[in-house]
Amino acid sequence: MKIESVKDSSAGAGWRIKIGFTVFILSITWPVLIPVLPFIGFSNKSVAAVTGFMFVVAEVMMITAAAIAGKDGFAYIKLKVFSFFKLYTPSRVVSVTRYRIGLIMFTVPLFYSFLSPYIEYYWPGFGEYRIINAIAGDFLLLVGLFLLGGNFWEKLQSLFIHKAIVTVSNDHEEGL
């Protein structure tokens, strides 16, 4: 189905697309409430039961959104949602400086998590802020991944493909 036909068909069925879009967004955001449940006072058993229920309801809501919006309307909703997220995808090729900064931000948390048990043994009090350090490390790792750009994602993906072959171009002479 072409994008033009999706846009043309969406003009006639406005209320269906709006309701379908609302249900679609609710189905995505509904499971976000799961981490809040223990703070409200739910027991571990209740959290597990509600979590399973929430995921089933989220899937049912997604199907309901597709049924309400119809085939063309659901294609229009997906087009709008994915075009919004496409704005925030990392760029394909990045500068050498950005790559170096991203590589440092990516590797420092990995080395920190590897070395922290050993450092803690020799440096009393080092482990007092474990959670804060872990959150900061996760943040650095994710920001580093986005700074590294789209080509790095392909490099990272090739680590998990057994038959991947590395091809090195002459571009590495400019320094990295």
Calculate the CA 25 to chain-centre distance: 16
pTM of the shown model: 0.48
In the chain, where the domains are located: 3-86, 96-174
pLDDT digits (tens, 9 = 90+) for 27-49: 888 777 788 888 888 888 888 88
Tell me, what DSSP letter sits at residue 139? H
pLDDT digits (tens, 9 = 90+) for 99-125: 899 999 999 999 988 888 888 888 877
pLDDT digits (tens, 9 = 90+) for 57-69: 888 888 888 888 8
CB 58 within 8 A of CB 30: yes
Round the average pLDDT of the chain to a whole number and report it. 79
